Amino acid sequence: MDLLEQVLTRDDENLCSYTMGELQNIVQLLSNEVQSQQEQLDKIKTEVQTMKADTTER
């Protein structure tokens, strides 16, 4: 299990056991994951728009 999975499956009380550095690392990992997912969504959106345009041309 990776760090993000560990954090996301723990309760709020256990989150207090992390150091500031660990929390900053977790925030960075989450930010990176959000950015990656956003890029994937943007790619899918572009593909859908292209398919829609192709369908409209037919």
CA atoms within 13 A on the CB side of 38: 6
- CA dihedral of 17, 22, 27, 29, whole degrees rounded to 10: -120
pTM above 0.75, yes or no: no
pLDDT tens for each residue of 21-33: 999 999 999 999 9
Q: What is the pLDDT of residue 40?
A: 98
pLDDT tens for each residue of 5-54: 888 887 666 778 889 999 999 999 999 999 999 999 999 999 999 999 99
Q: What is the pLDDT of residue 11?
A: 65
What's 17's DSSP letter?
Answer: T
Q: What is the pLDDT of residue 52?
A: 94
Say how many domains are in the chain: 1
The domain of 25 spans 3-57
